[in-house]
Chain A
Amino acid sequence: MAAPFDLKNDGVVVIIGSGAGGGTLGNELAQKGIDVIILEAGARHEYEDFINDEWDSFAQLAWTDKRTTSGDWRVAKDFPNLPAWIVKSVGGSTTHWAGASLRLQEHEFKTLSTYGKLEGANLLDWPITLADLEPYYAKAEDKLGVTLTNNIPGLPGNNNFKVMKAGADKLGYKECHTGRMAINSEPRDDRNACQQTGFCFQGCKWGAKWSTLYTEIPKGEATGHLEVRPNAMAIKINHDASGKVTGVVYADKDGKLQEQKARIVAVAGNSIESPRLLLNSASSQFPDGLANSSGQVGKNYMRHTTGSVYGVFDKPVHMYRGTTMAGIIRDEARNDPSRGFVGGYELETLSLGLPFMAAFLNPGGWGRSFTTALDHYDHMAGMWIVGEDMPREENRITLHADIKDEHGMAVADVHFDDHANDTAMRNHAYKQGSALYAAVGATRTFPTPPYPSTHNLGTNRMSEKAADGVVNKHGQAHDIKNLFVSDGSQFTTGGAENPTLTIVSLAIRQADYIAEQMSAKSI
């Protein structure tokens, strides 16, 4: 069972964050017999505790500690203290996520070579290729039980999907199906099949959707090599005179500071908190923060070019019934600059309940133009745009100069400006989405602005050369051998695909590398 390790035990790997990256890495290492402690800022809620209610669930799981925003994105105006919609809870954002699990495309690992230099974009090729990652993608798909892989049948299409599919056919799109979803279409891995509850974003009460909370974490704990410490907020990573990291200072459940010693530290707090922690760990030896000799920590923040399109029909749809995101059109995901932008985007079904629809359809909007949209809530269909956005140095996480959290740690400021390529892509997607619904008879469509970011990427990016990024192709800091980054902040560029399958694949690959390096005694 769960192994409680001593604070002074300096032989352990300490992972910060229990989400897609941290939870997976923790289990993979534990399976190899390596002792691991996961420090998780949030509490532990098991899946029976999840709530089928949007705001109550948000209060239970979401990260609501203060953050600030700046930049020209609309989120900064509408949700100035909520730049991202992600989770603070054991399982991380894999409790909230919808389960869409796609591989990146080959060219998306080589954006600088493929797209060329783009003004205002800090493009770079990944230090790995699709071929390098393919074996790990295969393992990840098996681990997550992704539908339409490993002979797992697709999920049945719900009402929202059927509207999408009918429109896709009318527009001549060829690749439209119920998606590659980390949601059981039949019982698998001792978990239920999806019951079409329609609350995927609120945590799956059936356990049908993969989450580290009830897969990786208990499996790791069963080995006796993994301890998950909830309500443990990491504040600073310590190092010795040789520049190696030695432990992590964290605030425990009572707010008391503790130091957990470590042989290796892996940061997986998602792309806002991970750079915040590295920056906050500045010392006289590393005055700009840990692993930051390149100055790239916190920069190149990406959030995908997103947006939604909702359509109102003269007959009922009930889009909220059933799996939230089991529906995809992939035809626009290709790179085809003739459309007026580089990179591509996916269109995926999406539904919000009435409370979130009111908050997110047109934040700040009021009057009849707004309310007549909601009047037809049960006649609405919806889709989400997710496309590749351009990394920009100016889009970055910094430590706020004055505002501190309850532990005295400077809060993160999230700055984001759209690149012209992002805007062109979003407008193209709005047009396609609206045309699709119009083709099935929509009487009105709504190009809905991006929500607070659910995909957060790029702020500790991988690079071949130490000068261009923060970590190498294994997620190992260029500057510090026993410091790793294990979440989506490693992404060199974002691709058009939902990121989690790639985060999990990188974590599996990283676990192999860490085990190898440990047994070779090089870390």
Chain B
Amino acid sequence: MVTIYEKKPGLSRRELLKRGSVGALLVISGSAVISPEHAWGLQTSALKPETMATLIQMARDIYPHDQVPDKYYAIAVKAHDEQADKDPAHKDLIEKGIADLDLKSGKDGYTGLGWEEQRVAVLREIEDTPFFQAVRGGLVVGLYNQKEVWPIFGYEGESYSKGGYMARGFDDIEWL
């Protein structure tokens, strides 16, 4: 189960600033990653919330879609938290992988790198590692198989219940 919950975090800007903040957008509070801008939060159970926040940034850097909100990247990587809960080896893979990523990124860590190019350069260094491949591989289904993201790409999904496209534009192209 994905435990993304939509709610106002109920924290003032000042309070937020006092807590650990990752990048520009995500905030760590207790065992949760919170997006104050977009009013959702993600509770972690096995992975450190900081790890989760970095994973979310890493997911976006691997498959960057500027029109897709963070929330869907968070849902996509949440599976690693669930797996880490059941499998200590997986927890180790992810925690160590993120720690290594931070180390390679300099004193402010991975999310401290301001430009996507800088972060991608670090990812290129590790792209053949089992850690990177586990994260990337998981995203292929984890991100693109979310029905909620399909409309963002213009994919309409299931069509049988709507009678197919017979009367819904299977041949509606006009510009040829």
Residues of A at under 8 Å CB distance from B? Answer: 52-53, 55, 156-159, 162-163, 166, 194-199, 205-206, 315-318, 320-322, 353-355, 357-359, 364, 366-368, 370-371, 374-375, 377-379, 440
Contacts and interface: CB of A to CB of B under 8 A. Distances in A.
A198 B165 contact: yes
Interface string B138-174: 0011011100001001111111110111101111110
A391 to B, nearest CB: 33
**Contact size range, B:** 35 or more
Contact of A158 (B157, B161, B171): B171
B164 A371 contact: no
B144 A322 contact: no
A374 B153 contact: yes
A359 B170 contact: no
Contact of B171 (A53, A157, A374): A157
30 contacts: A52-B157, A53-B158, A157-B171, A158-B171, A159-B171, A163-B173, A166-B176, A194-B164, A195-B164, A195-B165, A196-B170, A197-B159, A197-B164, A198-B159, A198-B164, A198-B165, A316-B173, A318-B156, A320-B155, A320-B156, A321-B170, A322-B171, A355-B141, A358-B144, A364-B136, A368-B64, A371-B64, A371-B65, A375-B153, A377-B154
A225 to B, nearest CB: 34
A460 to B, nearest CB: 35
Given A199-B160, A378-B154, A317 B173 contact: yes
Contact of A205 (B120, B143, B156, B160): B160
A315 B171 contact: no
B115 to A, nearest CB: 13
A159 B172 contact: yes
Contacts of B120: 367
Contact of A196 (B144, B155, B157, B164): B164
B174 to A, nearest CB: 8
Contacts of A317: 173
Contacts of B153: 354, 374-375, 377-378
Interface string B84-128: 000000000000000000000000000000000000100000010
Contacts of B176: 162-163, 166, 440
Nearest to B124: A367
A199 B156 CA distance: 12
Given A359-B140, A375-B65, A159 B173 contact: yes
Contact of B154 (A197, A316, A368): A316
Given A196-B170, A315-B175, A377-B155, A355 B65 contact: no
Nearest to A161: B171
A322 B159 CA distance: 10
Given A354-B150, A378-B153, A162 B67 contact: no
B22 interface: no
Contacts of A354: 144, 150, 153, 155
B63 interface: yes
Please indicate which of the listed interface residues A156, A158, A354 has the most CB atoms of chain B within 10 Å of its own CB. Answer: A354
B62 interface: yes
Contacts of B161: 52
A318 B154 contact: yes
A140 to B, nearest CB: 27
A317 B176 CA distance: 10
Nearest to B135: A366
A368 B65 CA distance: 8
Given A162-B176, A197-B160, A354-B150, 4 more contacts: A162-B171, A354-B144, A368-B64, A440-B176
B164 to A, nearest CB: 3
A383 to B, nearest CB: 15
A357 B149 CA distance: 14
B25 to A, nearest CB: 19
Contacts of A158: 165, 170-171
Contacts of A368: 64
Contacts of B155: 320, 353-354, 377-378
Query: 5 smallest A-B Cβ distances: which pairs?
Result: A378-B154, A195-B164, A322-B170, A197-B164, A358-B144
Nearest to A166: B176
Contacts of B144: 354-355, 357-359, 374
Contacts of A156: 170-171
A53 B67 CA distance: 23
A102 B127 CA distance: 43
A166 B171 CA distance: 14
Nearest to B147: A53
A52 B158 contact: yes
Contact of B62 (A197, A366, A378): A366
Interface in B57-88: 62-65, 67
A371 B143 CA distance: 12
Nearest to A318: B169
A359 B171 contact: no
A199 B159 contact: yes
Contacts of A371: 63-65
A196 B141 contact: no
Interface string B33-75: 0000000000000000000000000000011110100000000
Contacts of A375: 65, 67, 153
A378 B156 CA distance: 10
B150 A366 contact: no
A196 to B, nearest CB: 4
A265 B65 CA distance: 54
A223 B157 CA distance: 40
Contacts of B166: 195-196
Contacts of A379: 154
A77 B67 CA distance: 31
Nearest to A322: B170
A82 to B, nearest CB: 13
A199 B164 CA distance: 9
B147 to A, nearest CB: 8
A321 B168 contact: yes
Contact of B141 (A55, A162, A166, A366): A55
A416 to B, nearest CB: 23
